[in-house]
Structure 1
Amino acid sequence: MDLSDEEKREIGQHFVFGFHGYEISEDAKELIKKYHVGNIILMKRNVQSVKQVHTLVQSLQQCARDAGHRHPLMIGIDQENGLVSAFSSTAKYQAGTQFPGAMAIAATGDSEYARKCSSASAREMKAVGINWSYSPVGDVNSDPQNPVIGVRSFGDAPAEVARFAKAVGDGLTQGGVAPSAKHFPGHGDTNIDSHLGLPIINKSRTELDQTELKPFKDLIDAGVASIMTGHMVIQALTGDDETPASLSRAVTTTLLRGDLQFEGVVVTDCLEMNAVKERQGGVPRGAVEALAAGADVVMVCHTMAFHRGAMEATYKAVQTGELQMDELRKSGDRITALKRKFAGTWDDVLGNPFDEKAMNALQATNKKLSEEAYAKSTALISGSLPVFSSGKIVVMTPVVESLNAAVDDAEGLQRTEKGHIRNTAAPYYMSFAESVGRRAADVEHLIYADDFDCRRDFGKGLIFVTRNADRSTWQLDVLERVATQALTGVPIVVLASCAPYELFSRRVLGVQACVASFEYTSEALEAAANVIFNEVPPVGESPVGINMSFDL
């Protein structure tokens, strides 16, 4: 039996899809008009400026209204702040204000910064029509080798992660944007990226209650509007070693709805990640399984063929009785409630002209808040500052291997002979070298790889920048060679520009100070330069516990 127009309209509300381009595309129009898709995710590829995003969102909403949608679209975005900030400005485009990410904001020790920064970011997003932020990250980063969470987490202490995640959720809500806590039931204790494979977390239910579930319980108690389920296997919950949590009824319905009594909207992480895409049936089958598990909204971010496939598979599942329309309608009531609270009416979304003067004033205020928060986040892990007096300063920054599919920005990517991805022209490191140049009369910027030649003049001091060197250990090999072969008596400051674990995996003689910025945004590196040159005191504290191994 063919589905009615009403049934297809209902089904469309249970999907959030992405598209390509800075303007509404024909694909986006098809999704909204033909498939009645009720939710759209914007990616970095859709963001060029705040005014452009406003125009884009207006065109999406107008398309939905013209297509007969009962309620405005939820317009979502990955805006965690820090390294995952789809709405924030880049070296190429000026968009939203860049605020510190989770680990950097947690390093301040003050959850009020998390609330204020999230609320400020939400006000910018709301002004351009974005009403759903896929944050905060509630994952406890228990595994230092975690390739996908890392500095996206507020740390390795469940209570602290809960405290900061709740503050972010509160701030977003206060700013008029729906938060979505992720990645339930917890993606922090794994060394596999679900973009690339299927993580397995081997913990008992008791251990999960004590660690992974703690932040989500607190967020639910605080009334968080939505929760995103992740693609990891937790056998203690699913009962097998193959089913991702996002596709498991034991996780979504029994645990999240039943045990934890969550009544808000459940949205999956993107089904185009390999953890789901490479399963039998791929993305289309994953969409059906996620809805059968109890998800309200299924996310597919990138590929039109997968969008169509997921919709058609869902139509068929309803026709065969695998999915029940009554259950989808009950689920749809939760989506409608979310839309009424955060999207509002058609008059609200279409009667929202862009006010450039107001946006400029808001961003000027927000920039000051951002700078204040970044200044409080930089940590002196060990040693003392300042160590430089006068003379030439060498800044060494690494070519960048791609380790995190969630944060790679694809600028300047190159392939090495071994196939690793390297970024030799990373704009953030260029900006850091320029920042040092504003403080020292003579600065040389060297980009180093594993075959770096140490036979050179290092002047009167070295700032050696690392990025995830606990995994890309060749960076520490270079540091050791430089310190032992070429730099006797030359002071060295090591700057960990991402997770601070990299500072402590090997003893290296001759290092005077170890500094952590917790992310390599230009704003974080500018704050680190302020600390290294003793312009502001280092007041940040590492949110992850590390055993010191540098010989200072």
Structure 2
Amino acid sequence: MDVSQKKRIGQHFVFGFHGQTVSPDIKTLIEEYHIGSVILMKRNVVDAPQTRALVRALQTIARDAGHARPLLIGIDQENGLVSAFCRPGAGTQFPGAMALAATGSPDVAEQVSFASARELKLAGINWAYSPVADVNSDSRNPVIGVRSFGDDPQQVGVFASAVAQGLTAAGVAPSAKHFPGHGDTAVDSHLALPRIMKSRAELDTTELPPFAALIAQGVASIMTGHMALPAITGSDAPCSLSRAITTDLLRGALGFTGLVVTDCLEMNAISNTAEGACGVEEGAVRALEAGADVVMICHTIAWQRGAVLAAYEAVASGRLVLDETRIDALKDEFAGTWADVLGAPDGGESDFAREWDAAKAASAVLSDKAYRMSTALVNGPGALPLEAGRPVALFTPPMESLNKAVDDADGVLRTKDGALRNTAGPSFLAFAESVGKRAPCAHTVYERDAPLSVSAECTAVIFTLRNSDRSPWQLASLHQLAKATDAPIIVVGSCAPYESVHTSHAYVACFEYSPAALEGAARFIFGEQGPAVGKVPVKLSL
């Protein structure tokens, strides 16, 4: 196979790598395997200047290796709990999907998306794997949840379209996900293959309307997900590997003409051959056969190399026929030219610093506004607001790992050598600091089956839950404490609000456990922002 054909095939892959500088592996993949796109993960980001320098280094390698067009540089930046670019000194923490929907304002969602994308663009990132267009119709969903704009298909479509519009306006390609819909499942595709037993008519009612709205708007790219729809495909094949989904449904029935990228093929739904999955290398070929333009492999160099080699073999044998037209079009619109991505020889550092500072200042104001608008109150005010300066007891749960899409190293309870970390986790420690700025605060990290009590001087209890409908021992701890104290209790829901039906106490929903969201909850609890104006965007029922 000649080099020109290898260059064409390489354009159909987006790969991740380890490290905060260019690794030998990613350099080889760009130079020798000619991959057309790179995904940055949270592990690659230190701050904005470092990320910008890293992206410029990657683009320089691609240019010097003879790539015809710049790389697409992608990132998982949904905001909220999936915010790979959010670090001190990097991207601003903005509300995620469910919190944005709670504001009731698609305009605010578009403004947030534009501001977030402007920061990405300044760092050289031109492709965001956002918005989430999944309708969270199953409250038990372990992987979507608050990453969704809610359980109403029309509302999800409106907000997802607003986010896509904001990204596009800032020069970052959106990628709506996870087609044809990952909301109606209690299985995490990172761990196993979800089977969704729905007919085409049922998909038309719930899952497909948000994607149809995005396609009508002209969304640049769509990400396919790893779930099975046997009533549609006739098998348990993952949708991302199914021609019936990618070509017949997405392109044929819905008329999508943009770029299709798969979710990461290293998820167990594809990679776990021990459980009957086809494996990453074969999965890459099947996804491209199904009609995907680009396949994603985020972590493992052996699988990345193997997938490209499998594609070489499939093309050489005639099994696979590839077309780069949609990849080239996306690059022309969002990556631009070598002059666009590399700019002045000196890197334009002073201009970057000035633009970055201005963007961050504007983002801080907007983020504060959006979080204020998102905070919601369920079950009535109870003892709210609390009086500043009067002692309170704060209870927070340990940072249990709930799913791989959300949890990162900050949620690990033990280090690699077995040492116990502070089980509150950085987010809940930040919440304790937020409360402590307003009142003397006795902070307890409560554990399963541990008896809880409140000292006599505490005038109120703030009890934090995190998806306790899936960790019912948290609710048991709350009920035990309520019997042990006469102090008024305010419950803070730090993730999905479905648990609020299991308590009659005042329930403050902030939809995510980011420090910014929890600071907003503290602000509201102590009466600093007036009434809660957010509205819970999902149905709450026992």
Counterpart in the other structure of 2:9 = 11
| Contact 2:399 2:424 (C-alpha < 8 Å) held by counterparts | no
Measured against aligned partners, the alpha-carbon deviations of 1:195-215 in whole angstroms (never above 9, x if no partner) come to 000001111111100110000
Contact 2:449 2:473 in 1 (8 A): no
Give the corresponding residue for 2:348.
Answer: 353
Report the secondary structure of 2:379's partner residue.
Answer: strand
**AA aligned opposite 2:250:** L
SS of 1:88's partner is coil
Matched, 1:524 2:524: no
Q: Judge conservation of contact 2:224–2:239 (CA < 8 Å) in 1.
A: yes
- C-alpha offsets along residues 193-238 of structure 1, whole Å, 9 cap, x if unaligned? 0000000111111110011000000000000000000000011221
- Residue matched to 1:534: 527
Q: Give the deviation of 1:395 after TM superposition.
A: 0.5
The match for 1:277 is 271
TM-score when scaled to structure 1? 0.93
Partner of 2:37: 39
2:366 is aligned, of 366, 369, 383, to 369
1:306 aligns with 2:281: no
Classify the secondary structure of the residue corresponding to 1:411.
Answer: helix
Q: What is the distance in 2 between the residues matched to 1:285 and 1:406?
A: 23
Partner Cα distance (1:336, 1:87) in 2:
26
CA distance in structure 2 between the aligned counterparts of 1:388 and 1:177, rounded to whole angstroms: 43
Q: Which amino acid aligns with 2:391?
A: K
Any conservation in 1 of the 2:393–2:454 contact (CA below 8 Å)?
A: no
Aligned to 1:465: 464
Output the TM-score relative to the length of structure 2. Answer: 0.95
Residue in 2 that maps onto 1:167:
162
After superposition, residues 170-209 of structure 1 pair within 5 angstroms as 170-209=165-204
Question: How far off is 1:451 after superposition?
Answer: 2.4
The answer on 1:78 being equivalent to 2:76 is yes
1:502 Cα deviation from its structure 2 partner: 1.6
| Structure 1 stretches of 4+ moved >6 Å | none
How far, CA to CA, are the matches of 2:304 and 2:77 in structure 1? 23
Q: Contact 1:412–1:423 at 8 Å: present in 2 too? A: no
Q: Is the Cα–Cα contact under 8 Å of residues 462 and 492 in structure 1 kept in the other structure?
A: yes
- The AA in structure 2 aligned to 1:443 is C
Amino acid across the alignment from 1:13: Q
Query: How many residues of Structure 1 are paired with residues of Structure 2 in the alignment?
Result: 527
SS at match of 1:103: helix
- Equivalent in the alignment of 1:343: 335
| 2:289 maps to which of 288, 292, 302 | 292
Secondary structure of 1:183's counterpart equals: strand
Task: Work out whether residues 399 and 411 of structure 2, in 8 Å CA contact, stay in contact via their aligned partners in 1.
Answer: no
Match of 2:255 in 1: 261
- Whole-angstrom distance in 2 between the partners of 1:538 and 1:244: 42
SS at match of 2:186: coil
Letter in 2 for 1:405: K
Q: Which runs of 5+ in 1 are unaligned?
A: none
Match of 1:515 among 508, 519, 538: 508
Which residue matches 2:107?
Answer: 112
Q: How does 1:14-33 map to 2 (within 5 A)?
A: 14-33=12-31
Distance 1:412 1:274, change over 3 A: closer
CA contact (8 A) 1:401 1:422 kept: no
SS for the counterpart of 2:136 is coil
In the aligned structure 1, how far is the partner of 2:411 from the partner of 2:105? Answer: 36
Looking at structure 2, the residues matched to 53 and 64 of structure 1 have their Cα atoms a distance apart, in angstroms, of 17
CA distance in 1, matches of 2:404, 2:491: 26
Counterpart contact for 1:388–1:491, Cα < 8 Å: no
Q: Equivalent residue for 1:452?
A: 450
Native 8 Å contact 2:397 2:424 kept in 1: no
Contact 1:399 1:422 in 2 (8 A): no
Do 1:401 and 1:423's aligned partners in 2 also have CA atoms closer than 8 Å? no
1:378 to 375, 380, 390: 375
Determine if contact 1:411/1:423 at 8 Å carries over to the other structure. Answer: no
1:251 aligns with 2:248: no
What runs of 5+ residues in structure 2 fail to find an aligned partner? none
Cα distance in 2, alignment partners of residues 99 and 463 from structure 1: 24
Separation (CA, whole Å) in 2 of partners of 1:114 and 1:273: 29
Amino acid at match of 2:370: A
Q: Tell me if the contact between 1:137 and 1:183 (Cα under 8 Å) persists in the aligned partners.
A: yes
Q: 1:423 to 1:247 in 2, by over 3 A?
A: farther
Identical positions, percent: 58
AA of the residue aligned to 1:165: A
For the residues of structure 1 that align with 2:61 and 2:399, how far apart are their CA atoms?
A: 41
How has the CA–CA distance of structure 1 residues 373 and 7 changed in structure 2, closer, same or farther, with 3 Å as cutoff?
same
Conserved? CA contact 1:398–1:449, under 8 Å = yes
- Secondary structure (helix, strand or coil) at the match of 1:414 reads coil
Taking the aligned partners of 2:392 and 2:528, their CA distance within structure 1 comes to: 17
| 1:333 matches 2:332 | no
Equivalent position SS for 1:526: helix
Tell me if the contact between 1:245 and 1:251 (Cα under 8 Å) persists in the aligned partners: yes
Deviation at 1:353, TM superposition (A): 3.0
Q: What SS class does the counterpart of residue 470 from structure 1 fall into?
A: coil
Shift of 1:422: 9.0
Matched residue, 1:427: 426
Taking a change above 3 Å as real, the CA distance of residues 456 and 382 of structure 1, as seen in their structure-2 partners, is closer
- Please state how far the C-alpha of 1:413 moved relative to its aligned partner: 1.7
Does the C-alpha gap of structure 1 residues 183 and 412 become closer, same or farther in structure 2, counting only changes over 3 Å?
A: closer
Q: In the TM superposition, what whole-angstrom CA distance separates every residue of 1:41-65 from its partner, at most 9, and x where no partner exists?
A: 0000000000000000000000000
| Shift in Å, 1:281 | 3.9
Cα RMSD (Å)? 1.6
CA distance in 2, matches of 1:455, 1:265: 56
Match of 2:93 among 98, 115, 137: 98
1:60 to 58, 61, 77: 58
Contact in 2 for aligned 1:394/1:461 (Cα 8 Å) = yes
Change (3 A) 1:203 1:423: farther
Which amino acid counterpart does residue 376 of structure 2 have in structure 1? A
Q: Which amino acid aligns with 1:465?
A: T
SS in structure 1 opposite 2:390? coil
SS in structure 1 at match of 2:410: coil
